[in-house]
């Protein structure tokens, strides 16, 4: 009797293990079949499922699907975890697909310019979409590096021709993002809104619009523009740039002319300088405030970050906060030990 029990127990364990291993597969199959049935009943064609994702327990499942005979047109079907309800963004995918087919006629010319689609599409140019914002996006990758410093001289012709081709196609594209193919830490990326390019007639016009979409490009040129004024202000007690900074101030927003209207600047002071005991602090701060609030034009919103060299602790102030004090001396007395 004991021998029979000993034989039966392992068999039962194997049987249970087999059921447990099969059950998730069976469940996944049923879920996928439900999605396929939904697409068939709603849109009248057979679909394949590319992927499914969730954000954790008790979260919705998002299925990326595409018609069997039209793999380029992917859309999402969402299964809500707390109900049997299914929703999709098929209508937005249809509109993006229409844009793609208009774009198709100029894709060979775009590729000859040295642009391609993402690696996850095997380099093929596709039109993406955002169902929430009702936007159509075009993500392109440059086969050659794009450098900030030489963009105006080396890249502007190529980008001007790109925007001309996009306009010529008549495709409903909202945003274009171009990234070079270097490693993420080294690559540069440029974005522009096609609506803002409607009145672009010259390369100079285009350059302004691209600067508006790239804080790095605008920072580079604004830094260069005001470099001589910086040299008049800096001294051996403080500097606007460390070895870790690419720019001596960052341009966070621009106006319609591509001029900086929102600045973030870090000012590095010598050790033990940010104190009331520093007899030069008022003089130095006045020079800094004059440079950013009176010399640099047009008038901008500014955020200052004051830090002593060798320290990790910075003190930040908006220019409008500093303006609430009677004068610089009052500002120092209230904020520095």
User: What pLDDT score does 47 carry?
Assistant: 85
Interacting residues of 25 by C-beta distance below 8 A, sequence separation 6+:
none
Quick one: DSSP state of residue 182? S
Bridge partner residues of 267 (DSSP): 306
d(CA 239, CA 242): 8
Tokens of 205: 């016009």
User: Within 13 Å and on the Cβ side, how many CA atoms surround 321?
Assistant: 12
pLDDT class of 85 with cuts at 50, 70, 90 = confident
Interacting residues of 74 by C-beta distance below 8 A, sequence separation 6+:
50, 64, 65, 66, 93
What values do phi and psi take at 242, rounded to 5?
-110, 175
- If we measure between CA atoms, which residue out of 234, 266, 232, 270 comes closest to residue 247? 266
Classify each residue of 147-182 as buried b or exposed e, where b means 16 or more C-beta atoms within 10 Å of its C-beta.
ebeebbeebeeebbebbebbeebebbbbbbebbbee
pTM for the predicted model, two decimal places: 0.80
Task: Give the model confidence (pLDDT) of 149-207 as tens digits.
Answer: 999 999 999 999 999 999 999 999 999 999 999 998 899 999 999 999 999 999 999 99
CATH for the stretch 1-88: 3.10.450
d(CA 156, CA 136): 24
Domain edges within the chain: 1-88, 90-213, 218-335
Q: Report yes or no: 267 and 288 within 8 Å, Cβ to Cβ.
A: yes
Q: How far is CA 105 from the centre of its chain?
A: 28
d(CA 138, CA 126): 7
Among all chains, which residue has been given the structure tokens 């087919």?
101
Bridge partner residues of 262 (DSSP): 253, 301
Task: Give the model confidence (pLDDT) of 27-75 as tens digits.
Answer: 465 688 888 888 888 888 888 888 888 776 677 888 988 898 888 888 8
pLDDT class of 130 with cuts at 50, 70, 90 = confident
Please state the rounded mean pLDDT for residues 318-332.
96
């Amino acid at each position: 009797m004991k021998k029979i029990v000993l034989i039966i127990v392992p068999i039962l364990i194997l049987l249970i293990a087999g059921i447990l291993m099969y059950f998730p597969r069976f469940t996944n199959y049923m879920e996928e079949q439900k999605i396929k049935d939904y697409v068939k009943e709603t849109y009248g064609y057979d679909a394949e499922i590319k992927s499914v994702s969730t954000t954790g327990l008790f979260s919705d499942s998002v299925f990326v699907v595409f018609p069997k005979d039209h793999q380029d047109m992917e859309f999402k079907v969402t299964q809500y975890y707390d109900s049997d309800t299914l929703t999709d963004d098929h209508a937005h995918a249809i509109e993006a697909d229409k844009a793609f087919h208009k774009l198709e006629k100029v894709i060979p010319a775009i590729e000859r310019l040295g642009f391609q689609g993402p690696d996850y599409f095997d380099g093929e140019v596709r039109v993406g979409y955002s169902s929430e914002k009702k936007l159509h996006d075009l993500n392109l990758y440059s086969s050659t590096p794009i450098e900030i410093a030489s963009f105006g001289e080396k890249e502007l012709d190529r980008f001007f021709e790109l925007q001309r081709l996009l306009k010529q196609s008549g495709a409903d594209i909202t945003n274009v993002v171009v990234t070079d193919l270097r490693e993420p830490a080294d690559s540069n990326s440029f974005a522009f809104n096609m609506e803002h390019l409607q009145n672009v007639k010259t390369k100079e016009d285009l350059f302004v619009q691209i600067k508006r979409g790239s804080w790095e490009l605008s920072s580079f040129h604004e830094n260069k523009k005001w470099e001589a004024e910086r040299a008049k202000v800096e001294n051996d007690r403080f500097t606007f740039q460390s070895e870790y900074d690419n720019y001596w101030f960052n341009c966070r927003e621009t106006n319609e002319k591509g001029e900086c209207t929102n600045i973030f600047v870090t000012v590095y002071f010598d050790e033990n300088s940010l104190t009331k005991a520093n007899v030069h602090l008022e003089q130095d701060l006045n020079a800094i405030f004059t440079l950013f609030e009176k010399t640099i034009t047009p008038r901008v919103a500014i955020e200052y970050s004051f830090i002593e060299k060798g320290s990790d602790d910075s003190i930040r102030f908006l220019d409008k906060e500093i303006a609430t004090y009677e004068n610089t001396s009052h500002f120092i007395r209230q904020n520095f030990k």
